[in-house]
Amino acid sequence: MNFSELFKLSGLLGRFSPDGKCLASCVQHRLVVRDASSLQLLQLYTCLDQIQYIEWSSDSLFILCALYKRGIVQVWSLEQPAWHCRIDEGSAGLVASCWSPDGRHILNTTEFHLRITVWSLCTKSVSYIKYPKACQQGVVFTKDGRYMAVAERRDCKDFISIFVCNNWQLLRHFDTETQDLSGIEWAPNGCVLAAWDTCLEYKVLLYSLDGRLLSSFRAYEWPLGVKSIAWSPSSQFLAIGSFDEKVRILNHVTWKKITELDHPATIASKKTIVYKEVEKSPTVDTERLSFPPTRELASSLFSTKSKYDISQVPVSLQYVKPVADRANPKVGVGMLAFSADNCFLATKNDNIPNAVWIWDIRKLKLSVVLEQLCTIQCFQWDPCQPRLAVCTGTSRVYLWSPAGCMVVQVPGEGDFQIVSLSWHSSGDSMVLLSKDNFCVCYLEREEVK
């Protein structure tokens, strides 16, 4: 495994292009585009103010930069660096911006969610979508890019509108049986749309493309409800993470619950492997000691390293009791992700912030628990194989696969605290992001296989 040098970064804005050839990053008001394999500088663009969001177009030819404070979006072309586009929403303001699947339209959401403006880069035409709802996930596209669903709120009721993306014509408009719609998500096959209600009301609704209600799921009535949702890549399963520290999995045939995955503080099953991260003291060759020590030696002396030990069950995990009188309590399953081959599901229960749970979907059983020394910040599956990368706000990255798991220390002198990561589309590298820096981790070919 090899690592690049550290590069400056702001706002955790580092993204690989969809075709995998480029890596874009932001430093204040500058957008830097590098070659993804050599990290050689390809383009440097200067925006009018600090960049708060970036997104590649689907064909990797354009980059959108959103300057929310100014209500401006700037678009840059990789093929024609002299060409640029500026969209100013004026007094309406700007709270969100994204590409349409064709990479030639930009959707801007104005302040107070008064409307969504659809700007065409080709014809310079403008379309408007009224009453978008301010919610967790209100605008979603099907994976094939043909349809867009928008959550709406009008006359104190929730609605969903489905649009055809090639001409922005309204296909279906229907109301939802929700009190306060919280989010919507298409199945990867684009046939079913999941919608879920506010956390105060446990309700998940499943709609067909023509707006028919296929099924409604409710696990319980009064306590806090849905916290997170994830579709399996095959669209066969819908995993629902709840505030009661459980994941419920629905099947795509009857939309009934097929299993309930609990997250207890004590792991008792002998069929579950618990990998516990433990610190190990750095070993220093006494013959190499010199005073004052060299910078390299000082770095190795004072940097703590860690490794994984296999714990004997039963194992008690670190459980944090939530503060009941505060908003957004740290309780329930807040992170969910299926592996690319549909075989595994990774979860994080916010009550047990230092653990990642990996479930075998073929057996519907808990397979592995990774118990870390620090709180889990982010995890993401390799897009090509069942391999999970985890970061915990330290200078280490953790990798798990069915063959085992490993701790990798990122070399370097400074304090590089990894809080987010993102895989390259090929699965042979990933970008590691901290608050002020980023680096690229290259996996060797035998590791990739």
pLDDT in tens, 268-284: 999 999 999 999 876 65
Indicate if the pLDDT at residue 448 is higher than 50. no
* pLDDT, position 302: 54
Indicate if the pLDDT at residue 446 is higher than 70. no
* pLDDT, position 48: 97
Indicate if the pLDDT at residue 414 is higher than 60. yes
* pLDDT, position 127: 95
Arithmetic mean of pLDDT, 69-73 = 97
- According to DSSP, the residues that pair with 192 across neighbouring strands are 208
* pLDDT, position 304: 74
Closest C-alpha to 273, from 202, 177, 360, 167 = 360
Indicate if the pLDDT at residue 289 is higher than 60. no
* pLDDT, position 87: 97
Model pLDDT for residues 33-60, shown as the tens digit of each residue? 999 999 999 999 999 999 999 999 999 9
Q: Determine what percent of the chain is predicted with pLDDT higher than 70.
A: 94
* Prediction pTM value: 0.93
Arithmetic mean of pLDDT, 235-251 = 97
Model pLDDT for residues 349-400, shown as the tens digit of each residue? 999 999 999 999 999 999 999 999 999 999 999 999 999 999 999 999 999 9
* pLDDT, position 259: 97
* pLDDT, position 33: 98
Q: Is 136 exposed, middle or buried (0-12, 13-18, 19+ CB in 10 A)?
A: middle
pLDDT band, residue 303 (cuts 50/70/90): low
pLDDT band, residue 11 (cuts 50/70/90): very high
**Cα separation of 237 and 361, whole Å?**
10
Tell me what the pLDDT averaged over the chain comes to: 93
* pLDDT, position 449: 47
Q: Yes or no: say if 116 and 72 are a contact pair by the CB < 8 Å rule.
A: no
Closest C-alpha to 37, from 23, 57, 55 = 23
Model pLDDT for residues 82-139, shown as the tens digit of each residue? 999 999 999 999 999 999 999 999 999 999 999 999 999 999 999 999 999 999 899 9
Q: Yes or no: say if 274 and 311 are a contact pair by the CB < 8 Å rule.
A: yes
Dmax (CA) for the chain in angstroms is: 78
Instruction: Name the DSSP letter for residue 286.
Output: G
Which two three-digit tokens encode residue 95? Answer: 């709270």
Indicate if the pLDDT at residue 415 is higher than 90. no
Give the strand order in the sheet containing 378-381: 378-381, 388-391, 396-401, 404-409
